[in-house]
Amino acid sequence: MDTTLLKECLGEELYAQVAEKLEGAEGLRIIATGDGSWLPKSRLDAEIAKRNELKKAVEELTAKAQAGDALRGENERLTRETAELRREAGIREAILASHARDAQVVERLIDREQLDEKGAAEQIAELRERYPYLFGTVRGGFGGVKLGAETPAARGDMNDAIRAAAGRY
């Protein structure tokens, strides 16, 4: 309510006494605003409570947004890991389909950096041409190879393949 009318009606002295009495009364507390009007304290308290509720809601939404960002990051990481696992499984599947005598040796010979340019099947075909003794059906015996049956050149190629797989070539 605008206090100028009240001041005019009561006079300065009486108005000061009323304002003093109202300020001390618990149930009639009023607060002066910047424009010369007065508000009941209960209304101010209600506005403060509303503001605090809105602040709390903003904090909760911010926390949920941060949790959502963290979950998105985790999802992206898991997607990358899944793609890598599928890629490795595809390589191993291609090796098994190629009838490699020693799948671990053939797996080490595959260049993973070139998988985008040359697929695993294409690299395995090149390995089959370069090292034919690494592929074929296993006939039993000592790893499917008859001792003394291979030529010295084949033994040299096999040694080269083993050295390359071990990273010593």
Cβ–Cβ under 8 Å, residues 158 and 150: yes
What Å distances lie between residue 125 and 91, 117, 134, 160, CA to CA?
A: 13, 14, 11, 18
What's the token pair of residue 167?
């990273």
DSSP three-state, residue 111: coil
Cβ–Cβ under 8 Å, residues 58 and 84: no
Q: Domains in the chain: how many in total?
A: 2
Q: What is the domain range of residue 152?
A: 98-166
Whether residue 12 is contained in a domain is answered as yes
Domain boundary among 80, 107, 135: 80
In the prediction, which pLDDT does 13 show? 85
Q: Where are the beta strands (DSSP E) in the chain?
A: 30-32, 38-40
Does residue 156 sit in the same domain as residue 125? yes
Does residue 75 sit in the same domain as residue 136? no
* pLDDT digits 0-9 by tens, 52-93: 999 999 999 999 999 999 999 999 999 999 999 998 888 888
Does residue 12 sit in the same domain as residue 72? yes
